[in-house]
């Protein structure tokens, strides 16, 4: 929140959006809402049901690879693409 407040002061923004998996953090949601009211920001916080990260998608991909017997060795090197 300290960095957000500083950035808002430096850029004079008045609208702040919260997104991604971190937006499920209830303390962060509350802090942003309170700070927004205090500073006159228009805040955009998605409904909790839309605050997900990739964990579920990765778990399902791994599940289907497991069912297909698609395993990697210990020597496998990860890559981003």
- Determine the pLDDT at residue 42: 97
In a domain, 13, yes or no: yes
* pLDDT given at position 80: 82
78 within some domain: no
Counting as low any pLDDT under 70, the low residues of the chain are none
pTM above 0.75, yes or no: no
Residue ranges making up the domain that contains 43: 2-67
Is 57 inside a domain boundary?
yes
CA distance 4 to 9: 9
In DSSP terms, 15 is beta-bridged to: 42
Main-chain dihedrals φ then ψ at residue 14, nearest 5 degrees: -130, 5
Look at residue 71 in the predicted model and tell me its pLDDT.
92
**What per-residue confidence (pLDDT) applies to 64?**
96
| Residue-wise DSSP of 13-61 | --EEE--SGGGG-HHHHHHHHHHHHHHT-EEE---GGG---SHHHHHHH
| 45 assigned to some structural domain | yes
């Amino acid at each position: 929140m300290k960095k957000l407040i500083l950035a808002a002061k430096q850029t004079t923004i008045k609208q702040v959006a919260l997104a991604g998996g971190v937006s499920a953090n209830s303390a962060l949601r509350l802090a942003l809402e309170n700070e927004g009211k205090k500073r006159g920001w228009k805040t955009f916080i998605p409904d909790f049901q839309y605050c997900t990260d990739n964990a579920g998608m990765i778990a399902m991909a791994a599940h289907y690879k497991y069912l297909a017997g698609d395993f990697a060795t210990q020597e496998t090197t990860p890559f981003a693409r």
